Structure 1
Amino acid sequence: MIPRGLLAVVLCAIWSAVATAFPGPTDHGSYGSFVKHSEPDPLWQKYGLNRSDEFKYFHEPGRDDTLGHYDSRFFRGEPVPEEERSITLTHMIRAYLNFFEDNALETWIAHGTLLGWWWNGKIMPWDWDIDTQVMDTTLFHLADHFNQTVVQYTAPNSNTERKYLLDVNPWARQRDRGMGLNIIDARWIDISTGLYIDITGLSRLNPNKPTRWECKNGHEYQTDDIYPLRTSTFEGVTAKVPFRYDGVLTEEYSKKALTATQFHDHTWDPKLEEWMLDEPAKKDDKDDRQYE
């Protein structure tokens, strides 16, 4: 019996053979491998990817806060209506977390998604995307065994069905920033809308600093910031969060983000434990201005 209504179907794609050909990491530390810049470039030798000819893999239909959070391949031409966006993201993260747990894959929520967890274990009502992180060893395992997997999801106690694509960026093996075109290593994409979860990997890039982990977008962590991961819940399903979640959030967003109760036209209601949309300012219908 397939757990939680998840059905994985591996699709064939011309370039996916390159991704699934990635060998597993051979130099594991406690949690991951070091990038050895002194060795011949495996991107070119094994995968035919030339660093000097790096191309952007994931594309979005726009660069603003709305269109910048859709994958162009699955964007329908119009953004998801406001009233549908929240539930769409909720189903997406539930399916993602269940899939990773069912397949014994390690992941945790990060950035603005982690901030939402801090407040009430939910996605912030104004968010358009979701962020998660993995160690580079998990990222390579995804590329080896799960790239281009389509997951069929059925929501518990409802007739809602969705399909999600787990798409690993061919440039995920390039662990430094490179040209900055591929800071997102993988995505979990809602095929019906194009909304997605960003998956970024962390690597140890400096052998002289073995406890420092970095992503391609400048975020740095210490091993004890992340491990041991804490088990919690997010949007009603089991989720992992960094051990020093408060320090991670404070460093990224400041202490005010953990206490401020008004943001993005929403106010925190401590009784409901929800962010409530502010009422629009009432306008005085009486116009006392004088016209000549």
Structure 2
Amino acid sequence: MRWRTLVALVFALWSAVAALPSPDDAKTQSAHGVYTDPTLKDPLWWKYGLNATAEYKYFHEPGRDDILGHYDSRYFTGPVDDAERADVLTHMIRAYLDFFSENGLETWIAHGTLLGWWWNGKILPWDWDMDTQVPDTTLAYLADNYNQTIITYISTGTGKKRDYILDINPWSRQRERGQGHNIIDARWIDIYTGLYIDITGLSQLEPDHLDIWQCKNFHKYRLKDIYPLRWTTFEGVPAKVPFQYDSMLMEEYSETALTLTRFHNHTWFPHLAEWISDEALANLTIKLPEDRQYK
């Protein structure tokens, strides 16, 4: 009698397990009809536990304006003044570029950061963050080997110790745009202020056009415009820029971005190779030289 009970129990358990959905079963029956479990055929779910139909925003900022929208909420204690911001951004990009170079990781500067390099090899003085790009293979390698790494950097000259965290968005595994909450794939964050560098991965998403790379924010690039990358310097340290940087900048910002010498309350002075703010100009006791060809 006990033996028959045991057999019946084993059979019942086996039947229950057999009834569970498998990755190949996209649909299950319920009392209300057919229900499709969105995770069943989602490779992100099976490999990383990410349900694409329930995508959530990973990186958060304390606000949406030009100031608060450029801090990471986890490390934000309050806005910094312009002088501190410029100092933080300068050392942050130096630390970033040094780290990637020392570890043989491919990256290049992009968007407004690339535009600042074009003018004088520096950050545009009105920028609140910086942009870099990486191939999606490098992005995956960073996620597997360096995610949540704290990097300590000693500032040249001052000897000041600075700490950064390399944070890889778990949704970087999803190379399509998805619901648009996670177009930034990773960040290099100054943990004392919350200021950051946005890191964006580029992928081949068009099977019929393998020479086209794109990010999750619909920026598309031809492979021949990016490679071979050019060695240069940015903020005094070695850096890389795309091969056809000029045409890429004109396509993104228009040609006027490379010729306009008055922007965002700043004026470009060719003799100094610097953007000077209106406030700084008002406090000068000497007249800066002007270059007539820029008028």
TM-score, normalised with respect to structure 2: 0.81
- 2-side partners of 1:258 and 1:52: how far apart? 42
Structure 1 unaligned spans of 5+: 1-39, 283-292
Residue 67 of structure 2 aligns with an amino acid whose one-letter code is T
Partner of 1:208: 208
Structure 2 unaligned spans of 5+: 1-40, 283-295
SS at match of 2:272: coil
Tell me the C-alpha RMSD between the 2 structures. 1.4
Higher Cα Rg, which structure? 2
Offset of residue 280 of structure 1:
8.8
Partner of 1:156: 156
Distance 1:136 1:83, change over 3 A: same
SS at match of 1:224: helix
Partner of 1:89: 89
Residue 174 of structure 1 aligns with an amino acid whose one-letter code is Q
1:1-292 aligned at under 5 Å gives the runs 40-76=41-77, 78-279=78-279
Residue 181 of structure 2 aligns with an amino acid whose one-letter code is L
- 1-side partners of 2:139 and 2:203: how far apart? 10
Aligned length: 243
The ranges of structure 1 where at least 4 consecutive aligned residues each deviate by more than 3 angstroms after the TM superposition are: 279-282
**Per chain length, whose mean CA-contact separation is higher, i.e. which structure has more relative contact order (CA < 8 Å, sep 6+)?**
1
1:246-269 CA-to-partner distances (Å, cap 9, x unmatched) read 011000000000011000000000
SS at match of 1:68: helix
Residue 61 of structure 2 aligns with an amino acid whose one-letter code is E
Offset of residue 41 of structure 1:
3.0
TM-score, normalised with respect to structure 1: 0.81
SS at match of 1:240: strand
Contact 2:266 2:275 in 1 (8 A): yes
- 1-side partners of 2:65 and 2:96: how far apart? 25
Distance 1:55 1:256, change over 3 A: same
Residue 137 of structure 1 aligns with an amino acid whose one-letter code is T
- 2-side partners of 1:275 and 1:156: how far apart? 24
Percent identical: 67
Offset of residue 278 of structure 1:
1.6
Contact 2:42 2:51 in 1 (8 A): no
- 2-side partners of 1:41 and 1:50: how far apart? 7
1:265-290 CA-to-partner distances (Å, cap 9, x unmatched) read 000000000000124999xxxxxxxx
